[in-house]
Amino acid sequence: MDTVTDGPGEAVIPELVIISGMSGAGRSTAAKCLEDLGWFVVDNLPPALIPTMVDLGARSQGNVARIAVVVDVRGRRFFDNLKQSLADLAQRQVKRRIVYLEASDEALVRRFESVRRPHPLQGDGRIVDGIAAERDLLRELRGDADLVIDTSGLNVHELRAKLDARFAGDEEPELRATVMSFGYKYGLPVDADLVADCRFLPNPHWVPELRPYNGTSPQVSEYVFDQPGAKEFLDRYAELLQLIAAGYRREGKRYVTIAIGCTGGKHRSVAVSEKLARRLSGAGVETVVVHRDMGRE
């Protein structure tokens, strides 16, 4: 294996985080949190392949600067290779951190029973037998961990907040928004987090010269926002969304879908969605606009 160094004109060694710990303690949540913070995440990577992954990241010309790998007992036949991989990384001066997630036996048993799944190491025994075997297997790794988090009394949001504080750096966690227009006659979007109703505004459908156009057309947008209450609605809803967005960031929520509805999803909701998306983008929220029902009529 070639040694990759960090110097002028040479490949840059990516930063590495190894996520491990007890099954049921929150490894998947930790991996998703780092992914949302911009890390390249690989789940259940055989430990012997970690140095290879670092090499591939180093050759990506800076596109993969931070790598997180999840190592757990699902790959236990490869687990003995972890010690050798860590030694190899240390010799090559790769900056790496180990995050170890654990929880009490009671909390882990409760979590496995709630999802009605066996512990990966319990075999023909009980869940507590699998937990005991896993603790013994991971004991040395826990001792080498840079960050140990006990998730026994943490919910998902609290765990994400701890990881954000450790890995987000000085950057505020990003929020990505999808603003979706829709027509009530086609049903509510099932993936909407927030829903607003534009049917209090006059419908351009009943204006003959506007009926053929949709809400992306300047003439339709101008008509909609000339109506009483339209601009006030946009201003106040945008302000409310800024308040909600700040709360979402604090709670570790990274994605939000905002649905704006009118009768057919062609005129009013489209025009409002376009304006609202521009407001959110201007406020620093990464925003995508989707017009679910435009063109269905």
**276-292 pLDDT tens trace:** 999 999 988 889 899 99
Does residue 236 belong to any structural domain of this protein? yes
Give the total number of structural domains in the chain.
2
Residue 2's pLDDT band, with cuts at 50, 70 and 90, is very low
144 labelled binding-site residue: no
28 labelled binding-site residue: yes
DSSP class of residue 7 equals: S
Same domain, 126 and 221: no
Does residue 153 belong to any structural domain of this protein? yes
Quick check: 247 and 167 in contact, CB under 8 A? no
75 labelled binding-site residue: yes
Backbone φ and ψ for 174, nearest 5 degrees, come out as -75, 155
Same domain, 159 and 234: no
133 labelled binding-site residue: no
269 labelled binding-site residue: no
Same domain, 163 and 271: no
Does residue 297 belong to any structural domain of this protein? no
Q: Which residue has the higher pLDDT, 89 or 297?
A: 89
Separation of alpha carbons 16 and 98, rounded Å: 9
Residue 19 pairs in a beta bridge with 70, 99
Q: pLDDT tens for residues 242-263?
A: 899 888 877 767 778 999 999 9
Q: Write down which residue in 141, 167, 193 finishes a domain.
A: 167
Same domain, 242 and 181: yes
Same domain, 130 and 250: no
Q: pLDDT tens for residues 61-108?
A: 778 888 999 988 765 555 668 888 888 888 888 888 899 999 999 999
Does residue 6 belong to any structural domain of this protein? no
| Domain extent at residue 59 | 15-167
Does residue 8 belong to any structural domain of this protein? no
Same domain, 53 and 186: no
Same domain, 192 and 157: no
What Rg value do the Cα atoms of the chain yield, rounded?
Answer: 25
Query: Which range, 15-24, 48-57, 169-178, 268-277, has the best average confidence (pLDDT)?
Result: 268-277
- Non-local (6+) Cβ contacts of 64 within 8 A are 14, 40, 56, 57
Amino acid occupying residue 141: L
Q: Write down which residue in 167, 202, 226 finishes a domain.
A: 167
Same domain, 24 and 154: yes
Same domain, 184 and 100: no
CATH of the domain at 44: 3.40.50.300
- Non-local (6+) Cβ contacts of 54 within 8 A are 4, 13, 14, 16, 67, 89, 94
Q: Write down which residue in 134, 167, 200 finishes a domain.
A: 167
Same domain, 20 and 132: yes
- Non-local (6+) Cβ contacts of 2 within 8 A are 55
Does residue 32 belong to any structural domain of this protein? yes
Does residue 144 belong to any structural domain of this protein? yes
271 labelled binding-site residue: no
- Entry pTM: 0.61
73 labelled binding-site residue: yes
Does residue 296 belong to any structural domain of this protein? no
Residue 216's pLDDT band, with cuts at 50, 70 and 90, is very high
Take residue 160 and report the two structure tokens written for it: 């994400």
22 labelled binding-site residue: yes
169 labelled binding-site residue: no
Give residue 31's pLDDT.
Answer: 93
Same domain, 135 and 92: yes
Same domain, 145 and 40: yes
153 labelled binding-site residue: no
